[in-house]
């Protein structure tokens, strides 16, 4: 049976909840071992490896990112910004019993040093059925403002 929208949404809602509540180590377990977390700059790019991105994280880089957020040794992340994110407008682009691709909208509010900022993004997930259940194999966060000047984002989108 193909992966259902309900199962897919349950996983990415869990991801959003873990990130907003600082459960970064739990967040790591949601990804496949060769999964990628990508924040591209170019709105049209598909071949992320060949171009400059804001983030192009394999498992090792995701782990380092989490250590940075939890380690208390980064002045921009000690403590990390607090975030609240809303995901919606889900659309299953394709689905089989092994993988599915889902696209949705994300609106994230950030609070740090008394400044509130917000980021809108189109997010595409590729999810994969594994022995350990449904996992994230690819998450691509296409920020609405990706080609504009951003401010420091010392957390996980």
Partner 1 sequence: MQDLPDPRTLLAPDRADGSIYSDPDLYDMEMDRIFMHNWIWVAHRSEIPEPGDFITTFVGPHPVIVCRDRQGVVHVMLNRCRHRAATVCELRRGKTASFVCPYHGWAYGLDGTLRGVPHQEGYSGHLDKSSLPLVNLRVEEYNGLVFATFDETIPSLDSWLGRAKPWIDLFMKQGAGWPVKTMGEHKFTFPGNWKIQLENTTDAYHFPIVHKSFLDSVDQETQDTLNFVGGKGFVEDLGNGHSVMVMIPELVDLDENLDAPIPERFAELAAGLSKDYPSEKVRQIIRAVGGSGFNLNLFPNLACSMAFFRVLRPLSATSTEIRHIAIGMDGGPDVANQARLRLHEHFQGPMGFGTPDDAEAWDRVQRGSLAGKNIDILLNRGLGHEARRPDGNLYSDVSAETGMRAAYRQWLVAMTDKAFPAEGEGA
The residues of the shown chain that bind partner 1, judged by CB under 8 A, are: 39, 41-42, 49-56, 61, 64-65, 67-68, 71, 73-77, 113, 147-154, 157
What is the residue-wise DSSP string for 43-95? Answer: TT---GGGS-EEEEE-HHHHHHHHHHHHHS--GGGSSPPEEEEEEEEEEEEEE
Minimum gap (Å) between residue 117 Cβ and partner 1 = 11
C-alpha 83, offset from chain centre? 13
Q: Are strands 53-57 and 99-112 parallel, antiparallel or unpaired?
A: unpaired
Minimum gap (Å) between residue 100 Cβ and partner 1 = 27
Other Cβ atoms less than 10 A from the Cβ of 113: the count is 6
Q: Residue 3 or 146: which CB sits closer to partner 1?
A: 146
Site of tokens 């071949």: 47
Q: Residue 83 or 95: which CB sits closer to partner 1?
A: 83
Minimum gap (Å) between residue 33 Cβ and partner 1 = 18
Minimum gap (Å) between residue 77 Cβ and partner 1 = 7
Q: Residue 124 or 154: which CB sits closer to partner 1?
A: 154
């Amino acid at each position: 049976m193909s992966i259902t929208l309900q199962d897919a949404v349950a996983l990415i809602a869990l991801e959003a909840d873990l990130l907003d509540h600082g459960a970064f180590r739990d967040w790591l377990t949601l990804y496949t071992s060769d999964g990628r977390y990508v924040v591209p700059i170019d709105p049209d790019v598909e071949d992320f490896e060949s171009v400059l991105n804001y983030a192009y994280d394999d498992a090792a880089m995701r782990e380092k990112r989490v250590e940075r957020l939890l380690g208390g040794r980064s002045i921009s992340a000690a403590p990390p910004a607090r975030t609240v994110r809303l995901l919606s407008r889900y659309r299953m682009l394709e689905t089989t019993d092994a993988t599915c691709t889902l696209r949705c909208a994300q609106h994230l509010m950030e609070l740090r040093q008394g400044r509130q900022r917000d980021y809108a993004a189109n997010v595409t997930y590729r999810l994969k059925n594994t022995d350990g259940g449904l996992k994230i194999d690819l998450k691509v966060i296409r920020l609405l403002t990706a080609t504009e000047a951003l401010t420091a984002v010392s957390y996980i989108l």
